[in-house]
Amino acid sequence: MSRPNVLVIAGHDPSGGAGIQADIEAIGACGAHPATVVTALTCQDTVNVHAVMPTDEAFFDDCLTRLLDDMTFAAIKTGVLADVTQVRRVAAVAEALPEIPLVVDPVLVAAGGGRLAADSVAAAMVDDLLPRATISTPNVREAQTLCDGETDIAACGARLTRHGGHVLITGGDETEDTHVHNQLYGRNGRLRAYDWPRLPGTFHGSGCTLAATLAGLLAGGRSLEDAVIEAQHRTWNMLSSAFAAGQGQAIPSRYAR
């Protein structure tokens, strides 16, 4: 029996709600095998991020190189990239392997407000990484940050796809509506909008879960359109079955279908 491999490049969350552990669970639930390179250790709980320690540059590069030499990958998924060097290294991998779907979750700020990456990382993502992504999955705040504070979501979608690829801008953090509005953009503008009933409460790792599920489905051979729809459906189900592991946000039940 074989499974498609997914290369996950993301940070470690000791609470197990987000980051590498969320990616492992969500990708495994799709029937794919996650191989992981840790970009940073975080001091984090279900409430917020309190500190970030990037992985040593040489060690990070060695881990990445050895996995790429040893394994064949059907998709690549990124989460927290701790510095500009990491962004450019991943962009170089994507450039060398253009046939492999790349899902970029541009994690910049935790849901609790803690910073996970500097402004220079956001700029490097826009310039070097997003043009090579099959799809990126920023929430509204992340899309606005990537676009230098632009508040018009359509303008953000246009800017983030101007060099190719797609972007799914998610509205889970916008709490003023009874529904979550997610919007898919491509080079020709907005391609589709998706509305999901808003669930009560707040969730730790929902963005990681969505992006990792997308990567797992793409690795399994789903088309981008089908993967975007099914990943949202699976994520909504996981959030609806979320559980309280600590005193902060609920953690998605990533084995729920």
Q: Does 247 reside within a domain?
A: no
Residue 83 lies in a domain: yes
Does residue 249 fall inside a structural domain? no
Residue pLDDT, tens place only, 115-159: 566 678 999 999 999 999 999 999 999 999 999 999 999 999 999
Question: Does residue 152 form part of some domain?
Answer: yes
pLDDT at residue 47 in the model:
92
Number of independent structural domains in the chain: 1
175 pLDDT tier (thresholds 50, 70, 90): low
Residues 97, 7 contacting (CB under 8 angstroms): no
188 class by beta-carbon count within 10 Å (0-12 exposed, 13-18 middle, 19+ buried): exposed
* Residue 164 pLDDT: 85
Domain residue limits at 190: 5-240
Any domain includes 61: yes
Does a structural domain hold residue 126?
yes
The answer to whether residue 59 is domain-embedded is yes
Distant-in-sequence, close-in-space partners of 241: CB < 8 Å, separation ≥ 6: 252, 253, 256
Q: Which CATH number belongs to the domain containing residue 162 in this structure?
A: 3.40.1190.20
Provide the pLDDT confidence category of residue 109 given band limits of 50, 70 and 90.
low
Please write the tens of the pLDDT for every residue from 14-36: 999 999 999 999 999 999 999 99
213 vs 176, more confident? 213
> What are 194-253's pLDDT values in tens digits?
999 999 999 999 999 999 999 999 999 999 999 999 999 999 999 999 999 999 999 999
Is residue 255 a part of any domain in this protein?
no
User: Does the pLDDT at position 178 exceed 90?
Assistant: no
Distance (Å, whole) CA 138 – CA 146: 9
**Eight-state DSSP code of residue 16:** S
* Residue 113 reports pLDDT greater than 60: no
